[in-house]
A and B are shown apart, each in its own frame.
Chain A
Amino acid sequence: DVKVTQSSRYLVKRTGEKVFLECVQDMDHENMFWYRQDPGLGLRLIYFSYDVKMKEKGDIPEGYSVSREKKERFSLILESASTNQTSMYLCATLENGYTFGSGTRLTVV
């Protein structure tokens, strides 16, 4: 089975900090995605990547950037964390259906 591993399950950061959320997959999937999930708003797409060094903006890219230097790793970067970025962050890959990681619950204080 494909595994999508997110480095942290829970994270607490201070406002203004630079935050890295890491996602690693153990299959050779080209497409990787970052979503955030908030109560009442469902899952919203932040960024996705369909190849190494390639990235595309999703629906809510503001305040975020991404990095895909290797096929298996897709990083989400919060350049200067703010309290409105407190959320559950989900990484996913795509190959005949999506496989999601377990999520990182980020709290910005």
Chain B
Amino acid sequence: DAKTTQPPSMDCAEGRAANLPCNHSTISGNEYVYWYRQIHSQGPQYIIHGLKNNETNEMASLIITEDRKSSTLILPHATLRDTAVYYCIVQKTGRRALTFGSGTRLQVQP
């Protein structure tokens, strides 16, 4: 599976959009980009995933660059409850197990 690089931490003001970047320059054609988050003392929670098109759901939007070497997770209106560690993972189709990196610790400030 391709390696991902994320900034270790970010701050965001409550009510503003949080844009979390992820680099995956060695991604191959059959690898999806997944995002999860982990709120303190809980298990990771699935947010969104995509292959090459931008995706949106009730939680977030995922923007993948045309060359697929990077992506951005967007939380449109961050709340204090969005404070968490966000993991970007690249995974081949059919591979069952995930490899989590260190993620980005997002702190939403009041």
List the interface of chain A (C-beta within 8 A of B): 4, 31, 33, 42-43, 45, 48, 50, 58, 90-92, 94, 97-103, 105
Does B81 reach chain A (CB closer than 8 Å)? no
**Given known A-B contacts A33-B97, A94-B96, A42 and B102 have beta carbons under 8 A apart:** yes
Q: How far is the CA of A25 from the CA of B29 in the complex (A)?
A: 32
Q: Interface majority SS on A: helix, strand, loop or mixed?
A: strand
Chain B interface residue count, CB cutoff 8 Å, equals: 17
- Take A92-B43, A103-B43 as given contacts and tell me if A98 and B36 are in contact as well, using a CB distance cutoff of 8 Å: yes
Interface residue ranges of B64-110 to A (CB < 8 Å) = 96-103
7 A-B residue pairings within 8 Å (CB atoms): A42-B102, A45-B98, A45-B99, A90-B44, A97-B34, A98-B36, A103-B41
Query: Using Cβ atoms and an 8 Å threshold, which residues of chain B touch A103?
Result: 41-43
Q: Is B9 an interface residue (CB 8 A)?
A: no
Contacting pair A42 B43 (CB below 8 A): no
Q: Are B44 and A43 in contact (CB under 8 A)?
A: yes
The minimal Cβ–Cβ distance linking B28 to chain A, given in whole angstroms, is 20
